[in-house]
Structure 1
Amino acid sequence: MKKIFTGTIIAISLMANVQQSQAQDFEEVINSGIGDANTYLRNYMDPVASSIGNGLANGWYNTARPHKTLGFDLTFNVNLATIPDAAKTFEFVAGDYSNVELVDPSNTTLPTFVGGETNQQLVISNDDGIDGQGQFNQNIVAPSGILADLDYPGPLAIPTPTIQLGVGIVKSTDLIIRFTPQINVGDFSFQSFGFGVKHDFKQWIPGMKLLPFDLSGLIGFNRISTNYQIDEQAGQFAEFGASATTVQAIISKKLLFFTPYAGLGFNIVRSNFAMKGDYEFSGDNETYTVTDPIDLTFDGSGGPRFTIGARAKILWVLALNIDYTIQKYNTLSVGFGLNIR
């Protein structure tokens, strides 16, 4: 079981530095029942899923000016959605659980995946068992966060790389495509797809075309999917997906080889994680099987956003860009690309 839950944590976090001992903690949380285990793991994993989702919403633009027809840019971005300090812990709400209690109910703060160590104990008392199987009565130490084990410099963020092609079509409009074919590395597979449209709406407002800046609207959607084969022969695997929809108003001003820009809008971010297959668990002196034990949905980390940044042209057709977005998970984006107007 330890291998299974270590793989699960790796799949959702895209990190490999997790102690094997924490996997046992999650096996014991599962013993509380599928409903309680999903509630606990949703709170525990939410910051990682939210960081990845917010990262996907960034890097769509580095200017408000669309390309001329058949002009294009090919841009690679790395987005770092910073996990706020408030997300390092979560509040244990007793009413959300049927079979899990705190030994010390006066302290309801527990670490998330990105939190630190804890000595807080949980009481698991499940006389009915899981799906009518197994009985559990035990005390366990609540799972600690990874920051207890990682010496991570600076704010914690999950890097989210994107590569996209933007092409000018008609009426000062860019069609933007993000695509990564399925990549398989060992037991992992990864793929992504996204599309967006940027359109100059100054042209439709009388008199505004004469103003000395560019003004556009953008809508973009991006989704990634990962799969981790826990035991291929047994049909056991974990899957993680994240999607982000962003709507933006963008303003920019070209100054020779330097273009400052800003954007205002909102994101809709959603992620999901599931463990599929049949798994064996050890109860009080017995072994039992649970099918598809984990199915989590994460949302609510989107919302309004404000971006400010700049692009610098190098050697006429190459460009560097950097911007910072203020949102629930503040995000730094750095990009490099080929740009043909």
Structure 2
Amino acid sequence: MKKFILLLFLLIPFLGKSQDIEQFLLSGTEDASKLTENYVNPVAKGFMYGLNNGWYTTARTHKKFGFDITLVANLAQVPGKDEIFNFVASDYKNLSLQSGPSKIQTLFGGENTTVLQAKIETDGGSFDLANFNMPDGIGDDLPIKAVPSATLQVGIGIPVIDADLKIRYLPKLGTSDLETGMFGIGIQKSFSKLLKIDKTPFDVSALLAFTNLNAEYDIQGDSEFNGSGQKLEFSTNAYTIQAIASVNLKLIEFYGALGYNTAKMDVNIKGTYELEYTEVNSGLTVVSETLIDPVSVEFDASGVRATVGTRLNLGFFKIFADYTMQEYNTITGGIAFSFR
């Protein structure tokens, strides 16, 4: 079950790198938050764009008692410009470039050779030094540089208003070190009758949808720092509004949409962390510091979107695929069991 949850919600890039990201704490809370933001930005944005996909495979809505069960998979393509970020020392309080290039690979980039130096000023006016290597990205290990995500949803027809109610839900499930849960709701309203095209192969509708995902990962057992209550927390809210049109040719169906996305993700490192700084020349530990809830980062993704797609209708069994043009262009595909 744990592996299924991890794959379903794309926490693997975050969780697999949690120990590497934890070393950013050596630079202090402010710099650690900024460095974390720059490093994980493409994965966060790709995940948010993926959450807003897959709500529909046609502009048609269900008749009375109609419903569908749909499994959706997304691949949000990371633009080349987001595979790296430029380290600017003036943006940080305690960090400087020790060696290697200033253009650093993000979590979705490739191998890093950059070493950063954290200088922490003590009460005595001296500096305590800590050097760390920037962790490699995972992009070179993937067949396509795209952020995957997946959802399972149910759609139910509401005949009085010619609309479908769509629900995405996963109860809060947990293991010894991971808890995650998801809820999404959407309304797809048909305008085919109003436009007097309901007796034709053409359909027009509009969608308004929201998805929330929360996850908590216990990193205490793998942490390099002493402390308590150490964990990673994720909270994501994604919204989308779209106008949809489709044409039904019986065996095959084509659909398209125009709309707008907005989403926000909060990533927090919680707990207490006991840090020790070692002076480079002497090798002695000269200062210790305890950080509490040291990192809080907010990611945003928003913009217009346009989707084109097709669906193969094999009775109640459907196979679909579409492509969404947006900041992170997204490929979506899946299967559905639909009973009209």
CA distance in 2, matches of 1:25, 1:203: 54
CA distance in 2, matches of 1:196, 1:79: 18
SS of 1:264's partner is: strand
Q: State the partner residue of 1:197.
A: 187
Q: Is the 8 A contact 1:71 1:168 kept in 2?
A: yes
Structure 2 segments unaligned to the other structure (5+ residues): 1-8, 222-226, 279-284
Q: State the partner residue of 1:291.
A: 292
Shift of 1:171: 2.2
C-alpha RMSD of the superposition: 2.7
Q: Deviations for 1:121-142, whole angstroms, at most 9, x for unmatched residues?
A: 323222148xx9x953244433
Q: Deviations for 1:188-211, whole angstroms, at most 9, x for unmatched residues?
A: 122100000001124445x66676
Q: State the partner residue of 2:134.
A: 142
Say yes or no: does 1:172 pair with 2:154. Answer: no
CA distance in 2, matches of 1:124, 1:69: 64
Say yes or no: does 1:305 pair with 2:333. Answer: no
Q: State the partner residue of 2:12.
A: 14
Shift of 1:117: 2.0
Say yes or no: does 1:183 pair with 2:173. Answer: yes
CA distance in 2, matches of 1:175, 1:79: 21
Q: Is the 8 A contact 1:312 1:320 kept in 2?
A: yes
Q: Deviations for 1:212-247, whole angstroms, at most 9, x for unmatched residues?
A: 511111011111111112239932221112221111
Q: State the partner residue of 2:242.
A: 248
Task: Quote the sequence identity (%).
Answer: 35
SS of 1:302's partner is: strand
In the alignment, residue 206 of structure 2 is paired with which amino acid? G
- CA, structure 1 residues 163+96, in 2 after alignment: closer, same or farther (shift >3 Å)? same
Q: Is the 8 A contact 2:71 2:334 kept in 1?
A: yes
SS of 1:295's partner is: strand
Say yes or no: does 1:324 pair with 2:323. Answer: yes
Say yes or no: does 1:74 pair with 2:74. Answer: no
Say yes or no: does 1:37 pair with 2:29. Answer: no
TM-score computed with the length of structure 1 as normaliser: 0.85
SS of 1:61's partner is: coil
Say yes or no: does 1:160 pair with 2:176. Answer: no
In the alignment, residue 61 of structure 2 is paired with which amino acid? P
- CA, structure 1 residues 245+24, in 2 after alignment: closer, same or farther (shift >3 Å)? closer
In the alignment, residue 217 of structure 2 is paired with which amino acid? Y
Say yes or no: does 1:223 pair with 2:218. Answer: no
CA distance in 2, matches of 1:99, 1:249: 48
Shift of 1:254: 0.6
Q: State the partner residue of 1:3.
A: none
CA distance in 2, matches of 1:253, 1:51: 30
Say yes or no: does 1:115 pair with 2:115. Answer: no
Q: State the partner residue of 1:272.
A: 266
SS of 1:65's partner is: coil
In the alignment, residue 290 of structure 1 is paired with which amino acid? L
CA distance in 1, matches of 2:97, 2:113: 11
Structure 1 segments unaligned to the other structure (5+ residues): 1-10
Q: Deviations for 1:273-306, whole angstroms, at most 9, x for unmatched residues?
A: 111111111123133211101111111x321111
In the alignment, residue 296 of structure 1 is paired with which amino acid? V
Q: Is the 8 A contact 2:20 2:135 kept in 1?
A: no
